[in-house]
Structure 1
Amino acid sequence: MLSPAWSSMRSAVRLLPRRTRAGGCIWCRHISMKTGGLKPKTVPSRYLGQPSPFTHPHLIKHGEVTPGVTQTEYELRRQKLALLIEAHTNTLGPSASSGNHVVIVLSHPIRYMTNDIPYPFHQNQDFLYLTGFLEPDSALVLYGRTRPDQAILFVPRRDPGRELWDGPRAGKDGAAALTGVERVHSIEELGLVLKSLKGTQLWYDTSQPAHSRLHQAHVFPLLEAGPVPRSLRPLLHSLRAIKSPAEVSLMQTAGRITAQAFRRTMALSQGDVDESVLFAKFDFENRIHGANFLAYPPVVAGGNRANTLHYINNNQIIKDGEMVLLDGGAEYFGYVSDITRTWPVNGRFSPAQAELYEAVLEVQRSCLSLCSPGVSLDHIYSTMLALLGRQLKRLGVLKAGTSDADVLKAARRYCPHHVGHYLGMDVHDTPDLSRSQPLQPGMVITIEPGLYICEDNDQAPEHFRGLGVRIEDDVVIREKGGPLVLSCSAPKTITDVEKACGMG
């Protein structure tokens, strides 16, 4: 059951997308007037350290900050967050709802694998969600009386010496023109500005600061002098959970790219093959068709290794006659896919493999049919366990007379993970959101039942031992028309999988 505070927050957000008779969103029209409508600041012609409409017109249209997402949408996100904070504080009484509020969101720093060799930079998704700004060592501050709806962006200052080695920076002018945020300061000014705002309520997540150096230098002194901050994460993740049409479109592209990578990786399966070769092929096909990089280290697990759920060594030979379980996804301009397929590396399912595969596929189809508003992931999970239990009895893995309670225990043992999770800017997106809450239109989830029968399991029929099958799709919850399966073009039926394997 939702708390009164959460209900108030949802009510506040529902007020935002009201449509006028002439069409368009009232709130968006307000924002357009405030930011000058379709007349943003001229974006500098120089490279800003990230794609812009001037340097990357093939990717970004006029008025967009990142591909497909406009300045207006980013400002709308910040305004929605301000309304959530206002609704939340109103439930806490007059003392909490009066006075200034200050929100702080830090970017990620550059992280190093050794000495001065950096890992590829990946932005803090919460910061990215509110700004679209991709540079490290940055910060966003929102402030205001009652409602924190005034924005200040802090960015690294331009430094020709550093840019010689690390590449161009946006600087204050570039960041302002690109993001549409009017007030932009250098990051060195963060502490001074925070002190001047004198917020009576600070919104900031202290448990795991996104940027430890900025936290220590600029935010920590504020924490020592003031009241305990309130966590921003639950409110922000409640917004991130509901995807806009622009976000769904980006996730459709990520799903389409990954599905094609699966198809072409299957075509490489002609018998004995090294897991590392399939890994390399999958990575290549994702990147060459537009993915920025893989969303996570993929599982490429041949034979019995498919029964190790997080197997990512990907360095052994898959023998002719064995299956491979590949769990992988792409990141496309901040949004990810997460798909799993299982197939025989010689291109043909054996009778036992086909029987186990069809059992999982039937359960997956049933779970997909439940993906609608008002149904929770936990409810789909309970249904999955019941259906897997029936399949285990039908396959002879469980005896016909096994009690219902023991069937459910066995289902949990043969499928020790949940049916799915939220998906979006991260693979396990918005993890603080309960999987027992009702699904809403715009949420994106995975549906991924599996059956895993280890080779040393002497309780299962011998012909199933050493087989592991998981089938995973990415699904958008819709008000009408049923779920939208973003990964639908990845081969899934036995006929389609075998056909894809024969394309090599």
Structure 2
Amino acid sequence: MILTTPRTLILRSKEATLRELLVDVAQEIDRDKPGRDRMVLRFVGGWVRDRLLGLQSVDIDVGIDNMTGYEFATRLDRSRATPKGPSIWRLLFGRLKVRHNKTPLAATAPSMPSFTTYTLNWMRLCLLSEKRKKKEKGAKISCLHVNLPSIPRVSLHCILITAMILRRLRTPALRSPSTSVPRRFYSELLQTKFGQPSFETHPWSLKAGEVTPGISALEYATRRAKLASELPDGAVAVVPAAYVKYRSRPVFYPFHQNPDFLYLTGFLEPEALCVIEKTGPVGGGEHTFHLFVRGKDSHAELWDGPRSGVQAALDVFNADEAGDIKHAEHHLRPILKRASTIYADTISLTEKPSGFASLITPPPAAAPGSLVQILRDRGVLPLKYFMHKLRVSKSDAEVANMRKAGQISGRAFNKAIATKERFTMERDLWAFLEYKFRMGGCEKEAYVPVIAGGQNSLHIHYTRNDDKLGFVLLCQLVSPVLKDYRESDLVLVDAGGQYGGYVTDITRTWPVSGTFTPAQRDLYQAVLNVQKRCVSLCCESTCISLDEIHEVSEMELISELKSLGFDLTSSQLCNVLFPHHVGHYVGLDIHDCGSYSKSRKLQAGQCVTVEPGVYVPNDLQWPKHFRGMGIRIEDTVCVGDEGPVVLSVEAVKEVNNHLRLPLLLSRTQPLCSRKSLA
């Protein structure tokens, strides 16, 4: 056996595993038939070119000479008996089915039945085609494209007809339970417009293999398998997409996808439905992924832009079965009838009587055997406990997205704090931050921000953002309307950007004038001391929960405030000065995984906020020089094994750094340019 590979070509782990399998099979054939020409394995085609140029590539092309499909099929089947065989097979191959046209098709279950059981019955017909090709091209067999495994189920289309070339493509699946659909090839994908960015249409936004920025098709498939492994045998999970909310026809509110649906599918369009049907034993991840989406509609797309359509649900989002959402009831009825248990979050299903929600909204009299009657008879159990348990622990890719959002947002905060142009209105500062978020690379704001100047900061979720900021010209103070504003007012800003669907949550407080007064500095430093102490506890080794960190923050705040002259009790702190929790989980949502208790111990990979604050009312019981001040400092933190990782570390919070920030920014390139984040 001869293997030819460019010396500078470095294989990834899965590619190396794949090569290992091919080499083992080829060497065994060479040992058994020493008299014939030795086999040659060659990495060929555009994949080699892309790798040598350092580019991402979705293809791996392997040319194999001097080998018949029959030989390879037999040796491949034997390779499972070797010590490395089972692990390689689990990684690379899925259970094979035979369609009506006798073509092998991969199914979802990663089991390992006999390879030849499904193939040798029709191999004789395949060999006729192979011999014909050999006569035309001599000893060299032409290569066909076959899937390179990128997700647990991997197609082996035509692997036994010819010597193989393995290509990382999306798994073909059935459009409906009774109709098979041919795979869409890469050249066709380039000519197709989808309802969201893809690598084929937006290579500047997504890398090869990614469904959404930073998150690969493999990761989405792994998430679905993890959910299936949590469900009981024969259970079905139903997760709807969000719907478009309208202010007035045809004016709509900005669309935000259901985070549970997004977590499982990566699909960003409304009016869709994800169904995970568990097909294997308890504890296993075997399942069938059904995805119902809006069909292609030239008239609707003329107005609203492209839709991905049913075929893209198969080609791009790797559904096992896909269909038009209009016909979902027809396909769902048999699925739900055979389900042992049905899981769904009824609130998300009944927010609007359309799509799937309309199917479970009980009519005056449900027809026997209808979907409504099935759900009514069977009952629906909540799914959120399973979903939030999965979502609360972040993968490396998720943390990277949140780090990017924190980096962009933190730099935008710095620019706002250091700008020489004074913001006279809260909405001006709001517009500036949103501009910097988007120009820095964020998709949008993570939420409606709090831009609270002066005493507006005493309202924790103040979002009107329509008042004047504290810095006013001396000549304006004669106006009775502005008499309450002072040059030294603070502004509290709670804002953040979203990147790849993941958000960051940052709060900073600073003087509009650029200089802290002594009282402001003292109270700010007290809050900062507490915040830094709480952040330091965000690691698994401390064996602590968010609720316990909150208790620490209360004790620390009481101590800090008493040192500043406050006479207060624990009850006064909780009810007046610090009435909110010190933190919450964060991820696809700002307040992420609401059903996951804050009393549970923090684990590495979880992302939380740490946001102590003090809000001093204009009340005689509090020291005069602190009245009317609202200060909150918040960071997004990833829990580590031995220490925390602050994802919003770019946003300055030390008093001395506030003062030095204009000088530091003047010596560096613009903080929020896309180029600086590359």
Work out whether the TM-score is over 0.5.
yes
1:308-350 per-position Cα deviation (integer Å, ceiling 9, x unaligned): 1011111111222111000001111210000000000111101
Matching residue within 336, 340, 355 for 1:214: 355
Aligned residues of 2:405 and 2:497 also touching (Cα < 8 A):
yes
Matching residue within 115, 133, 151 for 1:32: 151
Q: What secondary structure sits across from 1:324 in the alignment?
A: strand
Aligned length in residues? 464
In structure 2, what is the equivalent of residue 93 of structure 1?
none
In structure 2, what is the equivalent of residue 152 of structure 1?
290
1:439 aligns with 2:602: yes
Cα distance change, pair 156–416 in 1 and its aligned pair in 2 (3 A): same
In structure 2, what is the equivalent of residue 410 of structure 1?
573
Cα distance change, pair 213–387 in 1 and its aligned pair in 2 (3 A): same
1:51 aligns with 2:197: yes
Matching residue within 373, 392, 415 for 1:264: 415
Aligned-residue CA RMSD in angstroms?
A: 2.3
Query: Offset at 1:212?
Result: 3.4
Query: Offset at 1:84?
Result: 1.0
1:367 aligns with 2:518: no
Query: Offset at 1:33?
Result: 4.9
Matching residue within 438, 448, 459 for 1:308: 459
Q: Which amino acid aligns with 1:430?
A: C
Q: What are the within-5 Å matches in structure 2 for residues 270-309 of structure 1? A: 273-309=424-460
Aligned residues of 1:269 and 1:347 also touching (Cα < 8 A):
no
Query: Offset at 1:363?
Result: 0.5
Q: Which amino acid aligns with 2:325?
A: I
Query: Offset at 1:293?
Result: 0.9
1:384 aligns with 2:582: no
Q: What secondary structure sits across from 1:212 in the alignment?
A: coil
Query: Offset at 1:411?
Result: 4.9
1:334 aligns with 2:468: no
Aligned residues of 2:228 and 2:278 also touching (Cα < 8 A):
no
Q: Which amino acid aligns with 1:236?
A: M
Matching residue within 557, 564, 571 for 1:395: 564
Q: What are the within-5 Å matches in structure 2 for residues 79-90 of structure 1? A: 79-86=225-232
Query: Offset at 1:273?
Result: 2.0
Q: Which amino acid aligns with 1:158?
A: K
Aligned residues of 1:111 and 1:119 also touching (Cα < 8 A):
yes
In structure 1, what is the equivalent of residue 645 of structure 2?
484
| Structure 1 stretches lacking a partner, 5+ long | 1-19, 87-96
Q: What secondary structure sits across from 1:479 in the alignment?
A: coil
In structure 1, what is the equivalent of residue 590 of structure 2?
427
In structure 1, what is the equivalent of residue 334 of structure 2?
196
Under a length normalisation based on structure 1, what TM-score does the superposition of the two structures give?
Answer: 0.87
Cα distance change, pair 415–58 in 1 and its aligned pair in 2 (3 A): same
Aligned residues of 2:231 and 2:278 also touching (Cα < 8 A):
no
After TM superposition, the structure 1 stretch with the greater mean CA deviation from structure 2, 101-110 or 127-136, is 101-110
After TM superposition, the structure 1 stretch with the greater mean CA deviation from structure 2, 36-45 or 318-327, is 36-45
Under a length normalisation based on structure 2, what TM-score does the superposition of the two structures give?
Answer: 0.65
In structure 1, what is the equivalent of residue 517 of structure 2?
350
Q: What secondary structure sits across from 1:341 in the alignment?
A: strand
Q: What secondary structure sits across from 1:273 in the alignment?
A: coil
Matching residue within 378, 384, 389 for 1:238: 389
2: CA distance between counterparts of 1:62 and 1:274? 44
Structure number with larger C-alpha Rg: 2
Matching residue within 64, 82, 106 for 2:210: 64
Matching residue within 278, 295, 301 for 1:163: 301
1:379-431 per-position Cα deviation (integer Å, ceiling 9, x unaligned): 00000000000011101011xxx6xxx24543553111001000000000011
Aligned residues of 1:102 and 1:144 also touching (Cα < 8 A):
yes
1:452 aligns with 2:615: yes
Q: Which amino acid aligns with 2:333?
A: K
1: CA distance between counterparts of 2:221 and 2:444? 27
Cα distance change, pair 366–489 in 1 and its aligned pair in 2 (3 A): same
1:176 aligns with 2:317: no
Q: Which amino acid aligns with 1:376?
A: S
2: CA distance between counterparts of 1:28 and 1:383? 46
After TM superposition, the structure 1 stretch with the greater mean CA deviation from structure 2, 484-493 or 205-214, is 205-214
Query: Offset at 1:218?
Result: 3.0
Cα distance change, pair 443–483 in 1 and its aligned pair in 2 (3 A): same
Cα distance change, pair 272–191 in 1 and its aligned pair in 2 (3 A): closer
Matching residue within 93, 99, 123 for 2:257: 123
Q: What secondary structure sits across from 2:235 in the alignment?
A: strand
1:446-471 per-position Cα deviation (integer Å, ceiling 9, x unaligned): 000011112x2211111111111100
Query: Offset at 1:39?
Result: 2.9
Aligned residues of 1:452 and 1:467 also touching (Cα < 8 A):
yes
1: CA distance between counterparts of 2:297 and 2:422? 54
Q: What secondary structure sits across from 2:508 in the alignment?
A: strand
Cα distance change, pair 465–75 in 1 and its aligned pair in 2 (3 A): same
In structure 2, what is the equivalent of residue 104 of structure 1?
238
Q: Which amino acid aligns with 1:217?
A: S
Aligned residues of 2:242 and 2:270 also touching (Cα < 8 A):
yes
1:469 aligns with 2:631: yes
Aligned residues of 2:241 and 2:257 also touching (Cα < 8 A):
yes
Q: What secondary structure sits across from 1:48 in the alignment?
A: coil
In structure 2, what is the equivalent of residue 11 of structure 1?
none
1:185 aligns with 2:323: yes
Aligned residues of 2:170 and 2:315 also touching (Cα < 8 A):
yes
2: CA distance between counterparts of 1:469 and 1:118? 35
Cα distance change, pair 257–230 in 1 and its aligned pair in 2 (3 A): same
2: CA distance between counterparts of 1:182 and 1:202? 19
Query: Offset at 1:168?
Result: 0.7
1:203-222 per-position Cα deviation (integer Å, ceiling 9, x unaligned): 11113426531234334453
Q: What secondary structure sits across from 1:361 in the alignment?
A: helix
